[in-house]
Amino acid sequence: MIKTGAQILWECLEQQGVTTVFGYPGGAILPAYDALKYSNIHHVLVRHEQGAAHMADGYARASGRVGVAIATSGPGATNLVTGIATAMLDSSPIVCITGQVGSKLIGSDAFQETDITGVTLPVTKHNYLVTHASEVAQTISEAFYVAKSGRPGPVLVDITKDAQQSTCEFDGKPVEPQLKGYRPDLSPTPEEYKQALELIQTAKRPVILAGHGIILSGAMDEVRAFAEKANIPVGMTLLGLGGFPASHPLNLGMMGMHGEAWLNTTIQEADLLIAFGMRFDDRVTGNLKTYAPHAKKIHVEIDRGEINKNVKVDVALIGDLKAVLRELLPHLKTLEHHEWIAHIDRLKGDSAVRDIQNLPDNGHLYAAHVINDLWHETRDGDTIIVTDVGQHQMWEAQYYKHEKPRSLITSGGLGTMGFALPAAIGAKAARPEADVWVVVGDGGFQMTMAELATMVQEKLKVNIAIINNGYLGMIRQWQEFFYERNYEASPILSPDFVKLGDAFGIRSVAVTQRAQVVPTVETAREHKGPILIDFQVEREDSVYPMVAAGASLHEMIRRPNPLIETGADA
């Protein structure tokens, strides 16, 4: 049958299982929008293309399926870039489809022309320029395959207006990707497995470092079986949270810059690090020169470009984590590390005393309390928390105890402000049965709050918890610690969020006392529609512990003991 490129596009998306796309129309993509009438795919109209990319990302992270964003040429396409870079650094499988000016006009600086394949080259896993209808089916097939296979990532497909309008024969049969050089399916050699097992079985002080790869690979059961059989404690990266249950006795919580003090110390004292699907990011390692100085390192990782990039490892097992662990598990002996675990427990005890939860009620509302109470109220349900970047994100990671994979969605690698609200909309579209909560700062929320209208138009029930301290909180904290409290450009004025929410037709409420937190969260859960809660928290609280940029992982700025309230860095 003869079809236009635009018709073929939607048919191919349907073949890939796409049911929802997030986009914004414009001149160069209009032929594609016109052909939407032939398709059952639901289009979500965003308010800014950055929102479309974040929604596709949130959709992908909530469901494991590929998220799709659509934009026009020029400004539409460039507005996607922040969202694409976010997906790139957090290995999120999304496909972005952009309209491009007619192929004859390319290079002429035509109206709304941008070389978007050139612009996105360093922030996509791969990208394509399609100039004829006959290329559409092959390209979409490859784009989805590249996005979701191996280490997932964003793929951009730029389709010229004439490619959408021109026609070719299309029989509707799925097309196989033709990617000769692309090999996402590597696996370690028997010798490498043997070396890894030897290190594991002789280690006295081992720690597992569990990253996003667990969730991407679906290796939750295998990681748990491995940790339990070998009795090795597990530290989590930010994006790993949920990949190993928080309540598990071997779980040591989050590592790194704002990680648990006992875990950072444990890593520095360890004699073996076993990294599962993580990339030794600088926020995780602190100063590389002094990082885990006594430890041998095993790195299980699907992306060979990550091996020896930041931390030199002794054994690299390059492959899919789930497959590698299935290979390792039968050969792994049951191990005990009583002394080591007892030692870590003592470290834990020393730290717990500093917990802000021990602070007697002084009438102030602390963000940590809000998160803790939110966790308490929502932990039994199918809950997804979506965070932005900054203080609230770190408090969420510390105080919300994630038991299940895909229950936390956050911008880790790129640290994108404005990510949370659109990503949550995408997550809710992917998993309508889940209880979706946005936890966001007053600064980040204002970056993309226009998407409230998208949320309302789509009738999506998303609960929004603004952690409002009147500052760009993490900036203020750095200024307090490292710039002599020179609070330059960090105080931020916000609109009346309750009135703002009302204007969008969203039930909205402000909370200033801890006693109001639980009842408000309960109300939110019972309320049928979306709700916005403005938590007006302590203005100048800081996230502890903190490893200053460039400091060693064990050199942490600690919270002054809240019981003693000396203010000294004990």
Partner 1 sequence: MRKPMLNTFVVYVENKPGVLTRVASLFRRRAFNIDSLTVGRTERPEVSRMTIVVDADRDQAMRVEANLYKLVNVLLVENVTGKPAICRDLAIIKVAASQSDRSPLLDIFNVFRARVVDFAVDSLTVEITGGEEKIDRLLEVLQPYGILEMVRTGVVAMRRGAKSEEASAAVANATGSGANGAATIAADDSSISYSV
Least spacing, CB of residue 28 vs partner 1, in Å: 19
Start-to-end CA span in the chain (Å): 76
- Count residues near partner 1 (CB under 8 A): 28
Site for partner 1 in 268-327 (CB under 8 A): 303-305, 307-309, 312
**Secondary structure class of 549 (helix, strand, coil):** coil
- Work out whether 354 is an interface residue with partner 1 (CB under 8 A): no
According to CB under 8 A, which one of 45, 121, 518, 563 is a site residue for partner 1?
121
According to CB under 8 A, which one of 17, 174, 181, 330 is a site residue for partner 1?
181
Strand partners, 409: 386
Least spacing, CB of residue 98 vs partner 1, in Å: 16
The nearer residue to partner 1, 142 or 541, going by C-beta atoms, is 142
Q: What is the distance, to the nearest Å, from the Cα of residue 277 to the centroid of all Cα atoms in its chain?
A: 14
Q: Which stretch binds partner 1 (CB under 8 A): 113-121, 238-246, 319-327, 544-552?
A: 113-121
Q: In the annotation, is 513 catalytic?
A: no
Least spacing, CB of residue 103 vs partner 1, in Å: 11
Least spacing, CB of residue 52 vs partner 1, in Å: 24
What is each CA distance from 403 to 14, 52, 240, 247, in whole angstroms? 33, 29, 11, 7
Q: Which of 383, 420, 391 is nearest to 58 (CA)?
A: 420
**Could you give the CA distance from residue 521 to residue 315 in angstroms, rounded to a whole number?**
47
Count Cα atoms within 13 angstroms, Cβ side, for 549. Answer: 4
Range 338-377 burial, b when 16+ CB lie within 10 A, else e: eebbebbeebbeebeebbbeebeeeeebbbbbbbbbbbeb
According to CB under 8 A, which one of 61, 126, 148, 297 is a site residue for partner 1?
126
- Work out whether 338 is an interface residue with partner 1 (CB under 8 A): no
Site for partner 1 in 11-70 (CB under 8 A): none
According to CB under 8 A, which one of 1, 2, 40, 180 is a site residue for partner 1?
180
DSSP string across 182-223 = --------HHHHHHHHHHHHH-SSEEEEE-THHHHHT-HHHH
According to CB under 8 A, which one of 182, 478, 487, 504 is a site residue for partner 1?
182
Q: In the annotation, is 176 catalytic?
A: no
Strand partners, 491: 471
266 secondary structure, DSSP code = H
Site for partner 1 in 495-534 (CB under 8 A): none
28 secondary structure, DSSP code = G
Site for partner 1 in 130-169 (CB under 8 A): 130, 132, 134-135, 138-139, 146
The nearer residue to partner 1, 104 or 527, going by C-beta atoms, is 104
The dihedral formed by the CA atoms of 474, 282, 411 and 147, expressed in degrees to the nearest 10: 170
- Which helix (H) or strand (E) segment holds residue 421: the answer is helix 420-430
The nearer residue to partner 1, 82 or 383, going by C-beta atoms, is 82
Where on the chain is the footprint of partner 1 (CB under 8 A)?
A: 117-118, 121-122, 125-126, 129-130, 132, 134-135, 138-139, 146, 175, 178-183, 303-305, 307-309, 312
The residues that are catalytic are 49, 111-112, 161, 474
